[in-house]
A and B are shown apart, each in its own frame.
Chain A
Amino acid sequence: MTWLKPSWQAVLVVLLCLIAFALGAMSKPEAAALAQPEASFDYPYLVTKGLMFGLLVIAALVSMTKLPTIVEALVLFVGAHLAAWLLITGINGFEGTALAPYFLLLAAAWLLGWRCVAVLSSLRPVANWARTALRLIIPAIFGAWILILWEAITRGAGIPFILLPPPSAIGVRIANSLPILGADVQQTIFKAVIFGYVVGSGAGFLAAIAADRVLFLRRGLLPIGNMVSALPIIGVAPIMVMWFGFGWESKAAVVIIMTFFPMLVNTVAGLTASSHMERDLMRTYASGYWQTLFKLRLPAAAPFIFNALKINSTLALIGAIVAEFFGTPVVGMGFRISTEVGRMNIDMVWAEIAVAALAGSVFYGVVALFERAVTFWHPSVRGG
């Protein structure tokens, strides 16, 4: 038995396929056709049923033999994704008619995908490019399976469109609404978010330095800052709309208020991050306040400041989108979400959410990359 290398996922796949085969019909039309052999019903998986079973079982069995890891991963990858693709394309036109074997096969394909990721995760490649590739491939397969399961379950079980549209419908909506989405991104992100983020974070930073320099500000402003940063500031959005009007300025104002205090509190904490010894050292050089600030205290505070910038990147997006719920011109991501929900265009709402998620990730990623470049010396970045 030295050529065998069993895995519980693969064994379970074979088992699931056997149960699904024993249960018979994959969908209601197929069950009807089996019940009345003389009538000619059109039903899904007319040709591909055997192919799917064969793919899953063969991939599972092959994966349990002693193969090179990379070949095993490849077999699992092809088996899992080809079966899933056949499953999803086959249900086209027969949404909501799937029976138990459909979900069993979906589970089997998912298990193969799981095994594939597990095998890939155990790889320890030496080459840099291979490590980078693995770092990208593993989360990509992981994410793809969230979409595959979402798509297959919503379509197989026929979940109502307004509850949860399948990702393919959301994708189609995004592709067909690019000009609208682009205008919304322009209004919400490039005007309100960026402006508010830069001004709010910058003002928080300068206020922190002022508080550090001037004693009464430190004693007076900081306790208030700590308190205000705990408030749900998004509540001031309607007031900002009254003060600054329906345009992007009122949303930028909400973002400024939301990002100001995290930056203030973090920067003040960061300015005390340098050690006594380091400050004594600067003192022995008779270094002035500003020299000590720029050469010691601000570099030491950089990890704290970037922490605030990362927190603020998500806060700014939330602030701008929610603020648009309270009044806006007929453009903007928050405006689109609130009106399209009212019009039952749930796919458009999801499209906006997807775009917001993408924009937020890019925003956060850019800040994080910048952080790595600036605080390369910090143990959390250099790893040790």
Chain B
Amino acid sequence: MTGTSPAVVSASKLGLTFQTNDGPVQALTDVDLTIGKGEFISFIGPSGCGKTTLLRVIADLEKPTSGMISVNGMSPEEAREKRAYGYVFQAAALFPWRTIERNVALPLEIIGLSKAEQAERIKRTLELVNLSGFEKKYPWQLSGGMQQRASIARALAFDADLLLMDEPFGALDEIVRDHLNKQLLELWDSTNKTICFVTHSIPEAVYLSTRIVVMSPRPGRVTDVIESTLPRKRPLHIRETPEFLAIAARVRDGLRAGHSYED
């Protein structure tokens, strides 16, 4: 799959070492990864394995200390300045002084779209995440799940081909999470975006991804990359099929091989 489409993200020998008061911490070592257009990639691993750091390096929120990385064939910094990606954080990070509508408009104001264009995109993306009718509400008037959906709408309104999501549903309960997972898959299927998704949930990773990158800590590294054999259209009950469970078992094996289950 990666050979047939142009690489959206391509990393080789990528490493990042944080200098802390307790000495250097190797957050990432020797990461080799190529992500093709239209893929849905999950990064999974225990906390401290560098999965969020890797996403932040792609987004140019952290600078690597060794190795090479390119995003859309450019350096991450150039890609960020060209607004190549939308980023969804662990928390919704909506501005409480703006209505949902104005929050979604925030990136559009920054890139300087016309009012008409803004209105059109706000309407379209809020429909996409099922938040029509809540345009004039403030974030603190909505539930956590709706807030996170609004933040996804904000990232989509940007209309970049690459969507970086850092445990976007980590703080939500399982029922809401199932629902949003399903919506996210439908969205990915209909828009053909490339999605990089950080999670620490094995079922979530298997359900969503076309490829699963298994990572482990101390030092943060990639221990396995698993191709999903599941079809593109995935109803929720696919999670009870033997095929699904086999992939989940492989992910668990990968985590165990990386000593992720040891103290």
Give B59-117 interface residues, CB cut-off 8 Å to A: 59-61, 80-83, 85-87, 89-91, 93, 95-97, 106-107, 109-111
Could you give 20 example pairs across A and B, Cβ below 8 Å? A277-B90, A278-B95, A280-B61, A281-B93, A282-B110, A283-B61, A283-B80, A284-B80, A284-B87, A285-B110, A285-B111, A285-B158, A286-B82, A287-B110, A291-B110, A299-B97, A375-B97, A376-B97, A377-B97, A384-B140
Contact of A382 among B93, B111, B140 (CB under 8 A): B140
- The interface bits of chain A over 272-302 (1 if a CB of B lies within 8 angstroms of the residue's CB, else 0) are 0001011011111111000100011001001
Is A135 engaged at the interface, CB distance under 8 Å to the other chain?
Answer: no
Using known A-B contacts A280-B61, A295-B110, determine if residue A285 contacts B83 with beta carbons closer than 8 Å. Answer: yes
Q: Which of B61, B82, B90, B91 has the most CB atoms of chain A within a 10 A radius of its CB?
A: B61
- Interfacial residues, chain B to chain A (CB-CB below 8 A): 59-61, 80-83, 85-87, 89-91, 93, 95-97, 106-107, 109-111, 138, 140, 158
Q: Which residues of chain B have C-beta atoms less than 8 A from A379's C-beta?
A: 140
- Interface residues of A, dominant DSSP: helix
Is A378 engaged at the interface, CB distance under 8 Å to the other chain?
Answer: yes
Q: Which residues of chain A have C-beta atoms less than 8 A from B96's C-beta?
A: 377-378
Known contacts A285-B158, A376-B97; can you find 4 more A-B pairs with CB under 8 A?
A275-B93, A281-B93, A291-B110, A382-B140
Contact yes or no, B87 A281, CB < 8 A: yes
Q: Nearest Cβ distance between residue B197 and chain A, in whole angstroms?
A: 16
Using known A-B contacts A295-B109, A295-B110, A377-B140, determine if residue A284 contacts B85 with beta carbons closer than 8 Å. Answer: yes
For the side of the interface on A, what is the size category?
Answer: 20 to 34
Which of chain A's residues has its CB closest to B96's CB? A377
Using known A-B contacts A275-B93, A299-B95, A382-B140, determine if residue A284 contacts B59 with beta carbons closer than 8 Å. Answer: yes
- The interface bits of chain A over 123-162 (1 if a CB of B lies within 8 angstroms of the residue's CB, else 0) are 0000000000000000000000000000000000000000
The 10 closest A-B pairs by CB, nearest first: A377-B96, A284-B87, A377-B97, A277-B93, A285-B107, A286-B81, A285-B110, A287-B110, A299-B97, A277-B89
Q: Which residues of chain B have C-beta atoms less than 8 A from A286's C-beta?
A: 80-83, 110
Q: Nearest Cβ distance between residue A302 and chain B, in whole angstroms?
A: 8
Give complex CA distance A282, B87 in Å: 10
Q: Nearest Cβ distance between residue A8 and chain B, in whole angstroms?
A: 44
Q: Nearest Cβ distance between residue B113 and chain A, in whole angstroms?
A: 12
How many inter-chain residue pairs (CB < 8 Å) link A and B?
54
Using known A-B contacts A285-B107, A295-B110, A377-B138, determine if residue A278 contacts B93 with beta carbons closer than 8 Å. Answer: yes
Give complex CA distance A286, B59 in Å: 11
Using known A-B contacts A284-B61, A291-B110, determine if residue A277 contacts B83 with beta carbons closer than 8 Å. Answer: no
Q: Which residues of chain A have C-beta atoms less than 8 A from B82's C-beta?
A: 286
Give complex CA distance A295, B85 in Å: 20
Which of chain B's residues has its CB closest to A284's CB? B87
Q: Which residues of chain B have C-beta atoms less than 8 A from A296's C-beta?
A: 95
Which of chain A's residues has its CB closest to B151's CB? A281
Q: Nearest Cβ distance between residue B55 and chain A, in whole angstroms?
A: 11
Q: Which residues of chain A have C-beta atoms less than 8 A from B107's C-beta?
A: 285
Using known A-B contacts A286-B80, A287-B110, A295-B110, determine if residue A280 contacts B97 with beta carbons closer than 8 Å. Answer: no
Q: Nearest Cβ distance between residue A162 and chain B, in whole angstroms?
A: 54
Which of chain B's residues has its CB closest to A286's CB? B81
Give complex CA distance A377, B140 in Å: 8
Give complex CA distance A269, B225 in Å: 46
Q: Which residues of chain B have C-beta atoms less than 8 A from A277's C-beta?
A: 89-91, 93
Q: Which residues of chain B have C-beta atoms less than 8 A from A299's C-beta?
A: 95, 97
Q: Which residues of chain A have C-beta atoms less than 8 A from B61's C-beta?
A: 280, 283-284
Which of chain B's residues has its CB closest to A281's CB? B93
Which of chain A's residues has its CB closest to B109's CB? A295
Q: Nearest Cβ distance between residue A275 and chain B, in whole angstroms?
A: 7
Which of chain B's residues has its CB closest to A288's CB? B110
Give complex CA distance A280, B97 in Å: 18
Q: Which residues of chain A have C-beta atoms less than 8 A from B111's C-beta?
A: 285
Which of chain B's residues has its CB closest to A291's CB? B110
Q: Which residues of chain B have C-beta atoms less than 8 A from A291's C-beta?
A: 110
Q: Nearest Cβ distance between residue A299 and chain B, in whole angstroms?
A: 5
- The interface bits of chain A over 356-384 (1 if a CB of B lies within 8 angstroms of the residue's CB, else 0) are 00000000000000000001111100101
Give complex CA distance A384, B96 in Å: 13
